[in-house]
Amino acid sequence: MSRTRTVALPKDLYRLALVQSFKKLDPRIMIKNPVMFVVEAGFVITLLLTFVPSLFGGGSDRIYNAVVTLILFVTILFANFAEALAEGRGKAQADSLKKTKQDTRARRVAKDGSVQMVNSTELRKGDVVLVEAGELIPGDGEVVEGVASVDESAVTGESAPVIKEAGGDFSAVTGGTRVVSDRIRVRITADPGESFLDRMISLVEGAKRQKTPNEIALSTLLVSLTLIFLIVCSTLLPIAGYVNAAIPIATLIALLVCLIPTTIGGLLSAIGIAGMDRVTRFNVIAMSGKAVEASGDINTIILDKTGTITYGNRMAAEFVTVGKARQDELNQAAAQSSIYDETPEGRSVIELAKKQGVAVTDLKAPGAEGIEFRAETRMSGTNLADGTVIRKGAVDAIKAFVSEEGGSIPADLDEKARRIAAAGGTPLAVAKGKDILGLIYLKDTVKPGLRERFEELRRMGIRTVMCTGDNPLTAETIAKEAGVDDFVAEAKPEDKIALIRKEQAEGKLVAMTGDGTNDAPALAQADVGLAMNSGTVAAKEAANMVDLDSDPTKIIEVVAIGKQLLMTRGALTTFSIANDVAKYFAIIPAMFMLAIPQMSALNIMNLATPQSAILSALIFNAVIIPLLIPLAMKGVKYTPMSASKLLGRNLAIYGLGGILVPFVGIKLIDLILSGIGLV
């Protein structure tokens, strides 16, 4: 299971949130929340009426106006407190990250090879620095030489060091992390102020939080409802005059505040901030709230095989000869094909060759040239000084390469490759010149518990697709063992993009995980792209989420968090609007009972007096906001089920509950007010 980053809520956080609640009373800030801005405008009017009761033609007494003013002020304060508390949680995380960010001395390598000591703030993109055991990495970059253990606990919270190495998908390093062992050479990839840590700080502080499309749509609905009720309340004055009923201005304002959706209006921003915070506490940095929200509507998840469904530590387990090739000849060629391969797989081939008796120290002959792996060719290898070409790679790629060279294909090659693939391994063919000498058997293992997790996704209505560069037989074996819905074998980067676009063309939202540079285009195309922190800079820049724990299966939790965010917003909106039904039966009869006695039939709660009814509804309207803050912060519990069942459950709990709770709450407040003789 993935680990969450826990952030305590100290007393200082509540104190700071309370201070911020008062600062947010500034109308320039409040106007960003139109619903609460209307409440603040009502507060100002009733405050003036408290001192000048005859103002605006009002006739109510000072005490009543003062009580209404106090309740409105508390309502605004509670709404501001909810938002400030959510923001404060993120700022607390940002403060801890800022402690990690420090100016360090760096050993910059000049073009002539000399080493200069400089401050980390002087480093720019493209600079190369040397970092040894015990030293802090001075800036974001990629390892270009060497292998080292790096302590990333300052960023990820994970105490176990991780291996960073040149030439693979685990080459990216973050400024502020510490090298535990060995020595590496790092190429800086970010200018000062643009580092990953800088972006993390600004994101968790909420400085760059933008409202999501769903949040904007809901805000528009709330503003529309506010305008409608504002017009309705404005027309009540002439209507009341027509029936000879005097309605105090403070009572009209109380009615307006109770009718408009103040509950969700006060909590909406806090829900969005808390949603981002939940993802952050799960050690995932979301580049935007839109990405978190989109994850809740995902229909398809595309997963890499290696490192996601399997452990990803494919290691050479056996050299299998084909045709008439000798075992020692294959061992030597396999080692020669991998001598320039700095990937973990390449080094595992060298290690196996050593065990087979190959003298690997003699392999780097003068004039030899290493050929890097490319997704297009799906091969790598070595060109020797005497013109001999040695290659290793996917079986069909090596077959095509040998055929172009005029060589023949051993009769038993395909059968032995199928046998390795059927066992869940990956066969790599090895060719020397025109001859295919044999296969390298790479072993990988499916992570335990994935079948159950994919079954959980199916219950959510999400389809899983495994994308792999392996041959179809290997892909099918792993897909069956893992329990994914579908798979794509021998996938190139363009195949992943094509699959994502195909799903999107059908109106589906697609999520994808990746860590390599070749995954970057697909991560950018996906609606939700989750890059691994251990991956390349290109992958992290292309994605809209970065997992600090580098656990590709965490996309499953991210989807659940996204659904929880949408559910929380929907549940509290339903509860808020349902609340208004009870308030209608409390306030409207109270306003007209004296002039129209028949209206008392609507006083089904049997509230003591008109003033008690109005104040009880207004107090309940204020008190319900802080009572719902824990739910807004924590989120509604998500249980995988169909959309229809989910809708039915939410309507029963938050719809029906939203109607019943105010009836009980308003009646209890009325009993308290009448019991103490306040009304």
Look up residue 588 and give its two tokens.
């409207």
For the beta sheet containing 369-374, the strands, ordered from the edge strand earlier in sequence to the opposite edge, are: 315-321, 435-443, 426-432, 389-394, 379-383, 369-374
More confident residue, 137 or 171: 137
Q: What is the Rg, in whole angstroms, of the alpha carbon atoms belonging to the chain?
A: 33
Q: Is 392 annotated as a binding residue?
A: yes
Look up residue 540 and give its two tokens.
């992290």
Q: Is 159 annotated as a binding residue?
A: no
**Contacts (Cβ under 8 Å, ≥6 apart) of 221:** none
Interstrand relation of 178-188 and 128-132 (parallel, antiparallel or unpaired)? antiparallel
CB of 272 within 8 A of CB of 90? no
Does the pLDDT at position 8 exceed 50? no
Which region among 177-186, 273-282, 424-433, 436-445 has the lowest average model confidence (pLDDT)?
273-282
Query: Which positions are catalytic?
Result: 304
Does the pLDDT at position 300 exceed 70? yes
Residue 390 binned pLDDT confidence (cut-offs 50, 70, 90) = very high
Cα angle at 172 between 170 and 178, to 5 degrees?
105
Q: 3-state SS of 570-590?
A: HHHHHHHHHHHHHHHHHHHHH
Look up residue 161 and give its two tokens.
């060091």
For the segment 509-534, what is each residue's pLDDT rounded down to a tens digit?
Answer: 999 988 777 788 888 899 898 888 76
User: How many other C-beta atoms are found inside a 10 Å radius of the C-beta of residue 374?
Assistant: 11
**Contacts (Cβ under 8 Å, ≥6 apart) of 188:** 123, 124, 125, 126, 127, 128, 129, 138, 139, 140, 141
Average of pLDDT values for 161-184?
78
For the segment 415-427, what is each residue's pLDDT rounded down to a tens digit?
Answer: 999 888 887 788 9
Supply φ then ψ for residue 432, to 5 degrees. -125, 110
Q: Is 377 annotated as a binding residue?
A: yes
Q: Is 51 annotated as a binding residue?
A: no
Q: Is 26 annotated as a binding residue?
A: no
For the segment 187-196, what is each residue's pLDDT rounded down to a tens digit?
Answer: 998 887 777 6
Q: Is 205 annotated as a binding residue?
A: no
Does the pLDDT at position 481 exceed 60? yes
Report which of 271, 275, 258, 230 is spatially closest to residue 577, judged by C-alpha positions.
258
More confident residue, 434 or 272: 434
Q: Is 378 annotated as a binding residue?
A: yes
Q: Is 196 annotated as a binding residue?
A: no
Q: Report how far residue 379's alpha carbon sits from residue 397's, in angstroms, rounded to the nearest whole number.
A: 7
Does the pLDDT at position 207 exceed 50? no
Residue in the block written with tokens 């979301």: 286
For the segment 337-356, what is each residue's pLDDT rounded down to a tens digit?
Answer: 988 887 778 888 998 999 98
Q: Is 375 annotated as a binding residue?
A: yes
Chain-centroid distance of CA 288 in Å reads 8
Chain-centroid distance of CA 397 in Å reads 38
CB of 580 within 8 A of CB of 261? yes
Q: Report how far residue 594's alpha carbon sits from residue 253's, in angstroms, rounded to the nearest whole number.
A: 19
Mean pLDDT of the chain: 82
